[in-house]
Amino acid sequence: MVIMKKPAHTATADPLFGGSAISDRILLAAVAAWCTAMIAAPLFDSGVIYGFFSSICHQYPERSWFLFGRPLAVCIRCAAIYGGFLIALLLEMPAKTGLLRWAVALTAVEFVVAHLIIDMEVVRALSGLLLGLAAAGFVAQGFRELTGPLARTSRRDSFENV
C-alpha cells in the first residue's frame, strides 16, 4: 500500500480559493478599494470619483442609494454587485456554474420586469447581490491564472530571463 503525504504548505498556496496568496490578496485589496471608492464619492463630494464611475454606471439618483444626502457613485444594482463580490471573496466562495447561471437569469428577468412592469429597489439589490456573489469565484480563478506565473517566478529569475 502506498501512502501519499499531503504537500507541505507553501507561502503562495491556498489562502483564498485554493490559489496564490499574492494574487488573492491583490484582488481582495482592489475590490475593497473599489467598494470604498463608491462610498467615498458622496462622503467627499468627489467629482473625480463620480466621473470615474460614470463610465461604468448610469448613476441615476432615483435608482441609487444615498449617503449624507448624496447618491453613491453607482446605482443600487451596481452597488449590490460590487458588495456581493467583496462578500464572496471574504467568504472564499468557490466558482459554481449553476449559481452563476441562475444569477444571470434572475438579473436579466429583473432588468426586463423593472423596465416594462414594475421597478422595485429590493429586487434590484437582491439580483445584484446574487450576481456579485456568483461571479467572484470565476473572476478570482481567472485572476489567479493570469497572475500565477508572476507569483511562482522569483524576482531574480524574472530579471535573468530578460
Alpha carbon distance 110, 105 (integer Å): 8
pLDDT at 22: 87
State the total domains in the chain: 1
Q: Considering the chain, what is the average pLDDT of its residues?
A: 85
Confidence label for 8 from pLDDT (cuts 50, 70 and 90) = very low
Range with the largest mean pLDDT of 16-25, 65-74, 144-153: 65-74
Range of the domain at 144: 21-149
Q: Is residue 70 part of a domain?
A: yes
* In a domain? residue 156: no
pLDDT value for 25:
92
For cell 500565477, the residue is 148
| pLDDT attached to residue 15 | 44
pLDDT tens-place string over residues 22-34: 889 999 999 999 9
Kindly state whether residue 12 falls inside one of the protein's structural domains.
no
Residue 71 maps to a domain? yes
**Domain membership flag for residue 97:** yes
CA distances from residue 114 to 37, 78, 109, 117, 145 in whole angstroms, order as listed: 27, 15, 8, 6, 37
Is residue 16 in some structural domain? no
Q: What is the pLDDT of residue 64?
A: 96
Contact in structure between 49 and 40 (CB atoms under 8 Å): yes
**Among 11-15, 28-32, 94-98, 142-146, where is mean pLDDT lowest?**
11-15
Q: Is residue 3 part of a domain?
A: no
3 state SS of 70? strand
Q: Which residues of 108-140 are buried (b: 16+ CB within 10 A; e: fewer)?
A: eebeeebeeeeeeeebbbbbbbbbbbbbbbebb
Q: Any alpha helices (H) in the chain, and if so which ranges?
A: 21-44, 47-54, 76-91, 97-116, 121-152, 155-160
Does residue 95 fall inside a structural domain? yes
- In this predicted model, which residue has the larger pLDDT, 51 or 114? 51
